[in-house]
């Protein structure tokens, strides 16, 4: 498996748990505050093309901004590294980065972009903050994106009105894209992402807004004159759990969990197990609470087991088997 470290290191972890030295060729990252090397994804045809994609905080003349790079994975290095997407402009605030990557059944790459603590940008179609973008493997906008052809909008945008979405996954068989979004003060959200949807931030929120996150007067006036249609979350969490990742389980090792959704929780210090049916959450349980560790990521391995990445001073990868439930 490929594992990123925020400071800019990319490592390979073997099936036996052996951790490699950092791979060469990773682009330079800005690792201040919450920025850094933030996600990695492999191309759907990785076995044939060996392509990997990185989301990272790219240093700019002013602060940093999120970028996506494509590279070829060799034995111990990345080669043919090319930045294929760049958020503009750069920002001084190294927070609310988003930066989760997910390939869809359509072959497109979906990327979450946080609002960078400029909440009203999430409603601005001429900016990337607070959005999910949908691009091809070469970084160009997909031709059927909802705002293609509009002079007032970025063509890569797929959905808007998000604060800091850090989890993204497609539901197998249903072609539904699910995302988790950090709320301001409580009110973390689980959303189903659809083409052109507006999830309301910061005009609508499941939690209380910080003073510096209030909508600008211009946005308030615009919303008063033309109220936007917004999509409500499927599930909210108060108190906040700080959701970090989402994963649908499709394996056979945990028969009772097939098709279920798992959410990593940083503040909640748990792996949250959700049964979802028809786009609704029908039950929830919290796993691994006794560990008292921040859960950064959760993935299913090719062996059908579940792998959990913790986010602590000494982060570790845990492998869950049916006997460890």
**pLDDT digits 0-9 by tens, 36-93:** 999 999 999 999 999 999 999 999 988 899 999 999 999 889 999 999 999 988 887 7
Share of the chain above pLDDT 70, in %: 99
Neighbouring residues of 228: CB distance < 8 A, sequence distance ≥ 6: 123, 161, 198, 200, 203
* 19 strand-pairing partners: 13
Ordered by start, the domain boundaries in the chain are: 1-89, 90-324
Average pLDDT in the 93-101 region? 91
Radius of gyration, CA atoms only, the chain: 19
Evaluated on CA atoms 288, 177, 210, 313, the torsion sign reads positive
Residue 208 burial (CB count, 10 A): 12
Give the C-alpha separation, 78 to 138, whole Å. Answer: 17
pLDDT confidence band for 325 (50 / 70 / 90): very low
Residues 56, 28 contacting (CB under 8 angstroms): no
Instruction: Report pLDDT for 134.
Output: 99
Runs of H (alpha helix) within 19-157: 46-49
* 281 strand-pairing partners: 276
pLDDT confidence band for 155 (50 / 70 / 90): very high
HSE (side-chain half, CA atoms, 13 Å) at 62: 7
pLDDT beyond 80 at 151: yes
Q: Assess whether 96 carries a catalytic annotation.
A: yes
* 77 strand-pairing partners: 24
Q: What is the DSSP letter of 116?
A: T
Average pLDDT in the 94-122 region? 96
pLDDT beyond 70 at 324: no
Average pLDDT in the 275-282 region? 97
- From the number of C-beta atoms within 10 Å of its C-beta (0-12, 13-18, 19+), residue 42 rates as middle
Instruction: Report pLDDT for 61.
Output: 86
- From the number of C-beta atoms within 10 Å of its C-beta (0-12, 13-18, 19+), residue 128 rates as buried
First-to-last C-alpha distance (Å) of the chain? 22
Give the C-alpha separation, 31 to 140, whole Å. Answer: 26
Residues 197, 231 contacting (CB under 8 angstroms): yes
Instruction: Report pLDDT for 210.
Output: 86
Strands (E), 60-108: 64-73, 78-86, 98-103
* 63 strand-pairing partners: none
**How confident is the prediction for the chain on average, in pLDDT?**
96
Average pLDDT in the 28-38 region? 93
Which among 43, 50, 96, 226 is annotated as catalytic?
96
Interval 248-267: pLDDT, tens: 999 999 999 999 999 999 99
Residues 120, 158 contacting (CB under 8 angstroms): no
- Give the pTM: 0.97
CATH classification code of 90-324: 2.120.10.30
pLDDT confidence band for 291 (50 / 70 / 90): very high
Give the C-alpha separation, 256 to 263, whole Å. Answer: 17
Q: Specify the 3-state DSSP secondary structure of 217.
A: helix
Across the beta sheet with 165-171, the strand order is 165-171, 176-181, 188-193, 235-237
Instruction: Report pLDDT for 1.
Output: 96
């Amino acid at each position: 498996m490929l594992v990123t470290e925020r400071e800019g290191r990319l490592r390979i972890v073997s099936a036996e748990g052996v951790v490699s030295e950092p791979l060469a060729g990773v682009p330079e990252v800005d690792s201040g505050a919450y920025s850094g090397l933030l996600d990695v994804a492999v191309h759907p045809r990785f076995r044939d093309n060996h392509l990997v994609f990185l989301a990272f905080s790219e240093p700019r003349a002013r602060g940093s901004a999120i970028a996506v790079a494509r590279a070829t994975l060799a034995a111990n290095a990345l080669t043919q590294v090319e930045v294929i997407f760049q958020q503009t402009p750069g920002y001084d605030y190294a927070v609310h980065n988003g930066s989760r990557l997910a390939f869809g059944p359509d072959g497109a790459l979906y990327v979450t972009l946080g609002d960078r603590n400029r909440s009203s940008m999430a409603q601005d179609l001429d900016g990337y903050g607070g959005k999910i973008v949908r691009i091809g493997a070469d970084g160009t906008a997909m031709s059927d994106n909802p705002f293609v052809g509009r002079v007032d909008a970025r063509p890569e945008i797929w959905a808007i009105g998000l604060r800091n979405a850090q989890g993204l996954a497609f539901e197998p068989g249903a072609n539904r894209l699910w995302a988790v979004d950090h709320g301001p003060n409580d009110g973390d959200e689980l959303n189903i992402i659809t083409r052109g949807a507006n999830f309301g931030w910061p005009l609508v929120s499941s939690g209380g807004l910080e003073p510096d996150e209030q909508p600008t007067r211009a946005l308030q006036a615009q919303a008063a004159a033309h109220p936007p249609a917004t999509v409500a979350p499927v599930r909210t969490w108060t108190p906040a759990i700080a959701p970090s990742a989402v994963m649908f389980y499709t394996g056979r090792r945990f028969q009772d969990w097939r098709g279920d959704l798992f959410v990593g929780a940083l503040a909640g210090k748990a792996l949250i197990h959700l049964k979802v049916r028809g786009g609704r959450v029908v039950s929830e349980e919290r796993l691994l609470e006794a560990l008292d560790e921040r859960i950064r990521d959760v993935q299913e391995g090719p062996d059908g087991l579940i792998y959990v990445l913790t986010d602590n001073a000494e982060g570790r990868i845990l492998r869950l088997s049916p006997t460890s439930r």
